Structure formats: structure tokens, C-alpha cells
Amino acid sequence: GDEVLRNPERTEVDSVLKDWSKNDIDSVGFVAITNDSSYVFPLTNYQSSMLETRTAGDNQMVSEVVKLGNLKLLYRLKVNESVLRRRNVTARPTEFRRQQIEEMKAANRKQAILQRLPDSVKKKQEENVFNTGFEDEKTDTTQSKLGKVVKSVEMKKQAVLKKAKVYEYRPPKFFNDYLVSGFNNSVLVTRFQPYQGGAGPIQLSNNDPFNGILRVGTSDLFEDWKFAGGFRISPDLKNNEYVFSAQYLKKRLDYGLTYYRSAVKNPPLYNDSAFFAKQFTNLYQATITYPFNRIQSLRFNIGYRSDKYVALSTGPSSLKRTFDRNTYGLAHIEYV
């Protein structure tokens, strides 16, 4: 450090050369210094406070720590080169700053004082002899309204509902109420099981423990109409069930219709026979509900059920076999 002189004066150079008994300087170094202008503007415009900003690595990644309430969030962003090249960036004010600007403008409007016209200008306007038809009406100086009593008139209040119109809700607009799909062993429709001859166990539904099910329900905007349907398919694609129901809930009495159909391969009493049999069940049911309140109601159910046993034709003897068919009438009343 002692052998190097940085920006020395001439007297200092002469004294050093004399001390070292030298005639000239050993070496001279130059450093170029230029004056440049810098542009400072925000690259981000967060509405919340920014605690820290750092540029790390050669990939020009910027790490920012922003505080939102009691939380501190860390963001890793890349430097926007296009913003740096433009330089003349005008950042938009935040919501808080915009609110302050509006308050300042409102305060300036209140402080503004209307300038009154001088009397000379008013006299010139009154002495205008040209009649263009657009002048203000002249005040009648003969009649003065000072001290004149004016009777008050009570304005009649018009009811808002008087002008209201009732529009018919047509056509009804439906939306998806629910959609259920999956694999389970639940009962699709509760019904009486056919007689099995005293043998067990009792098999519910289509006698398969694992099935694929799909149920869909829809209703209109005011829930006056409701439609629901579904089907369940067994793994062998032979023991299937279908159900469809419709409900009308607009009036005091609620009406409903339900249709159910199922197919069972080799039902009880036919599984040990020489013929391959299949049971088809069709259920038609009508429901009338009279509600007393939102919880209690009286329900009437009337239905017709048909169980038909069909044997597969495998030979001349099976062609002569007659189909067995059982029909039932269902009726029950319940208080819920």
C-alpha cells in the first residue's frame, strides 16, 4: 500500500522520487470514470407492505417477502427484462393511494368558491335590446310574493305493489338436484320379497352382493316438480334393476308416481329345476300426501305389482311350458 500513490499531487510525487533516488515513475495506471444517469422505479406494486427484496444467483431470480396481515409470504420471481429496458414506467396507484387522491379532490371541490359576476356585467345583460327568445323571463315587479301564504298540498302515496305485475312461470327451469354413482350392495327400492318356499337365506334385491348403481334427481326452480331415476347393474349384466319416479308438489296435496322393474336370474323355487328361469317384476305405485305442517303428514300409497317367471326355451318340452305369473294389489296408509 505504501508503494502505490492514488491521485497524488506533483509535490508529493517529487518528494517520493527524491526519497527513493529515482528519476521517473515506475508505472502509471488509469481508471475510467464516467457519469451516467440512473432510473429508479418500482418493479412491483403490491397493495400490502413489502418487507425484503433480494436478487440471488445468476438466473436473475428475485426473492420477495410480503406481509399480508399477520402472515408473511415468500415469492420467487424472475426479473422482468422488458420493464428494465423501457425505464419510463409509471406504476398505477394502489387502492389506498387512489382513495387518498379521491379524498383530496373532494376537499378541493368543497373549498372552491363561486366567483360572482361584477355589477357592470349584470347591467349590460339587462340592457340587451335584442330579443332572441332564449332570455330568462323578467320578474314582475308589480306583484311581490313577500308575506303571501301558500297552502300546502299533501302528496298521495302510491303503493309499490299497485304497479306490480304477476308473470306466469313458464316454462319451468330445471337443475340437477343430485347425482350418485358407484359400487355398493344397497337396496334400490324397498318392496315385499316373493315367497321362497321356506328356504333361506332371504336375498334382497337382485341376489348379487356387489353391483354398480347410478341415481339422478332433478327439480325445477320452485321445487314444484321433482323427477328421479336410477338403475343398478349386476356384474353378469343379467340381474338388473330400474326405477323412475315423479312428484308434483305445487298444491296442498302432493302427488307422486313410481315405476320399478327388476330381473332376477334363477329365482327361488326355480333354481333347482331343469329349466333356466328368470323372474321379471314390474311395480306401479301412486302416492298422495296430505301435510299437516312441515314435519307431520298423512300418506296414501296404492300400487299394482306383477311377478312373471319366464323359462328359457332349450327344447320341445320347454316350449310347451306355461309361464307362471303372480299379480298383487298394494295399499297402505302411513302417518309420518
In a domain, 97, yes or no: no
* Structural domains counted in the chain: 1
In a domain, 270, yes or no: yes
In a domain, 267, yes or no: yes
In a domain, 265, yes or no: yes
pLDDT at 51 > cutoff 70: yes
More confident residue, 120 or 156: 156
pLDDT, position 37: 62
In a domain, 87, yes or no: no
In a domain, 324, yes or no: yes
Each residue's pLDDT tens digit, 254-288: 999 999 998 888 777 666 555 678 888 899 999 99
Q: Taking residues 159-183, report their average pLDDT.
A: 78
In a domain, 140, yes or no: no
In a domain, 37, yes or no: no
Q: Taking residues 74-103, report their average pLDDT.
A: 76
pLDDT at 47 > cutoff 70: no
In the structure, what pLDDT confidence band is assigned to residue 152 with cuts at 50, 70 and 90?
confident
Instruction: List the domain range (segments joined by +) for residue 216.
Output: 174-335
pLDDT, position 1: 44
Q: What percent of the chain has pLDDT over 90?
A: 14
DSSP state of 300: E
Q: Taking residues 309-321, report their average pLDDT.
A: 77
Q: Write the DSSP assignment of 213-243 as a string of letters.
A: EEEEEEEETTSSEEEEEEEEE-TTS-S-EEE
Q: Write the DSSP assignment of 265-297 as a string of letters.
A: ES-TTTTTSSS-EEEEEEEEEEEEEEESSSS-E
